[in-house]
Amino acid sequence: MVAMAAAMASLALGIGPLRADNPPANRRPPPPAPAQDDPTWDPVSEAGQRAVGVYLPGVFVARNGLRGVVELARHTRSNAVVIDLKDGAGRVTYDTAIPILQESKRNYLGDAPALIRGLKAEGIYTIARITCFADPQLPMRHPERAIQHNRRRTPWVSWGTGGTWLDPYNRDNHAMIVELSREAEAMGFDEIQLDYVRFPVDDGIQYAAYPADDGTPRPQLLIELLSAIDRALRIPVGVDVFGLAAYREGDPSGLGQDLAAWVDHVEVYSPMLYINAMREWEPERPERSRWLVESGVARLRERIGPRPVLRPYLQAFEKGAGHEGFNPTFITRQIVGARSGGADGFLMWHPGARYSMFRRAIQGPARSLSPFPLEERAELRQQRPARRSNVAQVPRERDSAVR
């Protein structure tokens, strides 16, 4: 019934049916089982597999409190929230005990364990977002931890984001991220989500120097970090990655992200499939937002295999919506693309947590589309996805001030 309702909704929008090979929803499979010889695999719960959520910056939580977060979740029919613990501005949003982060602390979450308990009592799956190496504060206070300008020997500044970065080679930075992750688990979060777990990519990197560079290949270095986090936690580890990275084999841009090689340590992948970030791809294509999301999800599933949960970020902001316009149909097409591409759920991103358009979509044309049935997800995981994108050339990833 769910699959039929979703297909009828998509037809009514003029965006075509969902996949013709959707299986009947006649049984419920268990969550993906861990490999018997893999003690670090932390299976994602059924709630995590069905997660449909929104990103919330710390300032939103400070202004609205537990009640405001719960109301937003209800109005958007969300069963999950992503909350910043260390954000893109370098702020730590809770009462951390990590010494080097004391000056970065802005306790927006207040009594964070009580907040998490309250959200769980309302049936909301909680995800802690940790921004790893992009940090416009800490490198200025501790330049020995920073990527440095190779001529000035001051902290290097990204031409794309306008901010400084911590040196991914510095193992003290690794230890700090591990401790942030431990604190997230201790607060009661169901899952952590690592963002900017990579090297910077923009034209300014020609001036970047890495003081702690010991010759470790970049992909191996980031696997070392992910392995340390994975060993330290009993909850699932998730990562945010460039949407463009979903289409790439290996690590041609020098991000350090070889996504297929991360599957031993990452339980959840969240490609940021924002239409704004793919403005040059077939801009006049009909149903472009659906097609871009569907092809990106399907390509990444092809690369990482059936075990990890695939939960993309979708665009809930107006910029770059293109000829489709920013409206409930634009949001709905993205959700249809995520489901038909083989995602397990989805997350909506608006940097200021303004989700009125998502609310209009999920209470209107997208109402029957989520959460995605677990039965359907299990079947799609086991299939070998066909390539869905005929994009001839994938542009390089670029850091940008717009997330």
Q: What residues contact residue 364 under an 8 Å CB cut-off, 6+ apart?
A: 328
**DSSP letter assigned to residue 145:** G
Q: Give 3-state DSSP helix, strand, coil % of the chain, rounded to 5.
A: 40, 15, 45
Q: Answer yes or no: is pLDDT of 401 > 70.
A: no
Q: Answer yes or no: is pLDDT of 228 > 90.
A: yes
Q: Answer yes or no: is pLDDT of 53 > 80.
A: yes
If you average pLDDT over every residue of the chain, what do you get? 87
Q: Give the model's pLDDT for residue 382.
A: 67
Report the distance separating Cα 124 and Cα 229, nearest Å.
24
User: How large is the average pLDDT for residues 328-337?
Assistant: 97
Domain ranges of the chain: 2-12+54-382
Q: Answer yes or no: is pLDDT of 317 > 90.
A: yes
User: How large is the average pLDDT for residues 375-396?
Assistant: 57
**337 pLDDT band (50/70/90 cuts)?**
very high
Report the distance separating Cα 41 and Cα 267, nearest Å.
7
Q: Answer yes or no: is pLDDT of 19 > 50.
A: no
The torsion angles phi and psi of 115, rounded to 5 degrees, stand at -60, -45
User: How large is the average pLDDT for residues 23-29?
Assistant: 36
User: How large is the average pLDDT for residues 61-66?
Assistant: 98
The torsion angles phi and psi of 165, rounded to 5 degrees, stand at -135, 145
Condensed to tens digits (0 to 9), the pLDDT of residues 73-102 reads: 999 999 999 999 999 999 999 999 999 999
Lowest mean pLDDT among 89-93, 291-295, 386-390: 386-390
Instruction: Say if residue 371 is preceded by a cis peptide, omega within 30 of 0.
Output: yes
pTM, to two decimals: 0.88
Three-state DSSP class for residue 205: helix
Q: Give the model's pLDDT for residue 391.
A: 47
User: How large is the average pLDDT for residues 377-384?
Assistant: 68
User: How large is the average pLDDT for residues 332-353?
Assistant: 97
Q: What residues contact residue 114 under an 8 Å CB cut-off, 6+ apart?
A: 66
Gyration radius of the chain over CA positions: 20
Q: Give the model's pLDDT for residue 66.
A: 98
User: How large is the average pLDDT for residues 233-244?
Assistant: 94
Angle at 137 between CA 194 and CA 262, to 5 degrees: 20
Three-state DSSP class for residue 82: strand
Q: Give the model's pLDDT for residue 17.
A: 43
Q: Give the model's pLDDT for residue 253.
A: 81
User: How large is the average pLDDT for residues 38-47?
Assistant: 83
Q: What residues contact residue 100 under an 8 Å CB cut-off, 6+ apart?
A: 138, 142, 176
What is the dotted CATH code of the domain comprising 2-12+54-382? 3.20.20.80
Q: Give the model's pLDDT for residue 130.
A: 98
Q: What residues contact residue 98 under an 8 Å CB cut-off, 6+ apart?
A: 92, 176, 179, 180, 183
Lowest mean pLDDT among 20-24, 55-59, 62-66, 281-285: 20-24
Chain center to CA of 292: 17
What sign has the CA pseudo-torsion 207, 252, 242, 196? Answer: negative
Condensed to tens digits (0 to 9), the pLDDT of residues 144-196 reads: 999 999 999 899 999 988 999 999 999 999 999 999 999 999 999 999 999 99
The residue written with tokens 């992910």 in the block is 226
Contact 288, 324 (CB under 8 A): yes
Query: Residue 168: what residue type?
Result: P
Condensed to tens digits (0 to 9), the pLDDT of residues 255-272 reads: 999 999 999 999 999 999
Q: Give the model's pLDDT for residue 13.
A: 52
Contact 326, 357 (CB under 8 A): yes
Tally Cβ neighbours within 10 Å of residue 243: 25
Report the distance separating Cα 386 and Cα 383, nearest Å.
9
Exposure on the CB side of residue 88, measured as CA atoms within 13 A:
16
Percent of the chain with pLDDT over 90: 74
